[in-house]
Amino acid sequence: MSNSVLVTGGAGYIGSHVVQQLIARGERVVVIDDLSTGFREMVRGAELVVGNVGDRALVTRVLDKHHVDAVLHFAAHTVVPESLSNPLKYYGNNTCNTHSLLACCAAAGVGRFIFSSTAAVYGMTDDGIADEDTPTQPINPYGASKLMSETMLRDFCATGAMRHVTLRYFNVAGCDPEGRIGHSTLHSTLLIKVACEHAVGKRANIAVFGSDYDTPDGTGIRDYIHVEDLAAAHLSALDHLRDDGESLTLNCGYGHGYSVREVIDAVQRVGGRPLTVIELPRRAGDTPMLIARSERLKQRLDWQPKYDDLDFIVRTALLWEQKLARKPA
């Protein structure tokens, strides 16, 4: 039996797009997802095992049964405001469960691991820009929980037992351009999804949290990366590890940003209708600006983005929301 790739959280937003790309190029894929935020129908062409990645007996059985030689680890809670109100949930699910998964991988001899991390590990930088050597100073438990996992993974790989690629995502947005899968997370806090939900009538308005930042229009600026480009980076990372490449930590972003107002303008432009915008105070845990320096990703993994266009990102997100809106309740 040939080896398989295990994707944890593969029924979720980003994981499902990675699974779809892996299947498209002929990989054998098995997914573990507890479906707490993921959706069974998002797993297309791979075996889905419903369960929690912290269940060592389950993970051990899957690693053995499917002859897993590489793990892509997405399973995590990712909502910054919730991490502030319920930090132990984040340290338990994101950090403790990653420790458990790594222990299972160590016992099974899995040699390759790709970790879904976040730009939230940087916190606030002096100039709003981060490269991989920028000091990590997370300002919320979500970022801290991911940084702890990064540290465990780095230290374990330093023993020589495993090699890894850690990918630090900036703001992921958009959906499969063919509309087969998309971002279906309930109660999302991600700006482009929220704005598109409002555009199709699912939400009464779109809130701007903070209009007094020291930015050109007063609203926060973020580096938005299309989920398909991000997924492609994971496949490149897997190829790198299979080619005996060294362990790496890499930013995933386009290297430029858009403000909240610019994103709202794009949703209005693409959707062809005005949005109802309300202004609210800043949210705890938000930074004024965070943009990636991602030259290292391009150099080390030969990654080239295909969808670096805000209107395209919005269009794919809006098409998915329109598809969801047509589904019977």
In order, the DSSP letters of 91-153 are IIIIIIHHHHHHHHHHHHT--EEEEEEEGGGT-S-SSSEE-TTSPP--SSHHHHHHHHHHHHH
Q: Are strands 221-222 and 129-130 parallel, antiparallel or unpaired?
A: unpaired
Q: Quick check: helix, strand or coil at residue 87? A: helix
Please list, residue by residue across 83-100, b when 16 or more beta carbons sit within 10 angstroms of its beta carbon and e when fewer do: bbeeeeebbebbbbbbeb
Q: Residue 106 in contact with residue 311, Cβ under 8 Å?
A: no
Catalytic, out of 91, 142, 213, 254: 142
Q: Where are the alpha helices (DSSP H) in 173-282?
A: 191-199, 227-242, 260-271
Annotated active-site residue 307? The verdict is no
Query: Which residues are designated catalytic?
Result: 142
